Structure 1
Amino acid sequence: MSRYLLDKFLYTVDRDPELVERYREDPRGTVAWWEAERANALLNCHPAEASTWLRLTDAEREALGTHDYPRLFELGAHPFLTLTLFIAMFERDHEEPLAFQREYARKLSHFTLPYPDIAT
């Protein structure tokens, strides 16, 4: 698994409002573009510095491409990164305050301790 890369996707997309909207509207296309163009860029480094070996797994690509946050949690994505990005994308679709957060909790409620490992 590439938990580092999975978390990096969540982190970088969440910090760019245009990418949040792009990911909301075209998740599979955004994941493919991000993996090809941004995945190997090193965080907080000169743009010319890059890695060449990082790749998402098929399971990670599928979960990201379908906005499947319970599966992302199961794969080891950090729950705070997942929650903040998905709040940015889907909270507006709910009329009640905290409705998306309650839905998120409900969809993850089948997990019991110990939770999946979120270490990178």
Structure 2
Amino acid sequence: MSKYLLNKFLYTVDRDPELVERYREQPVETVAWWERERANVILNVPEAEASTWLAFTDGEREALSTHDYSALFELGAHPFLTLTLFIAMFERDHDEPLGFQLAYAARLAHFSLPYPDIAT
């Protein structure tokens, strides 16, 4: 399991509006593409710099592919990264103010202290 890789996915997708929409509409394909093409590109260095060892576990891939932010939190994804990305994807589906944020909080309400470790 790589909390770093989960967080890297959430961070990089959230910063690209086209990727946000692609992930919303085609999550399985986007996760597979990102893992194959982007997972091992080192952040903030020239494209030529890359690693070859990072990959999602089956559980991480499943949680990402189904937009299961509760499972992502349990796996150690940072809650601010999941919240900001999923707000961008799903806030528009709620009519009431803070609709998605309230749904997010309700879906994570079963967690109690100590929360899963989010350190990378």
Give, in angstroms, the shift of residue 114 of structure 1: 0.3
TM-score, with length taken from structure 1: 0.99
Give, in angstroms, the shift of residue 12 of structure 1: 0.1
- Structure 1 residue runs without a partner (length 5+): none
The two structures, once aligned, show a CA RMSD in angstroms of 0.3
Deviations 1:1-40 (A, max 9, x none): 1100000000000000000000000001000000000000
In the alignment, structure 1 residue 81 sits paired with structure 2 residue 81: yes
Runs of 4+ in structure 1 deviating by more than 3 angstroms, as ranges, are none
Percent sequence identity is 79
Give, as a single letter, the amino acid of the residue that structure 2 aligns with 1:75. Answer: L
TM-score, with length taken from structure 2: 0.99
2:21: which partner in 1? 21
Count of aligned positions: 120
Deviations 1:16-75 (A, max 9, x none): 000000000000100000000000000000010000000011000000000000000000
Cα distance in 2 for partners of 1:112, 1:94 equals 26
1:99: which partner in 2? 99
Cα distance in 2 for partners of 1:43, 1:113 equals 32
What secondary structure does 2:55 align onto? coil
Cα distance in 2 for partners of 1:82, 1:99 equals 16
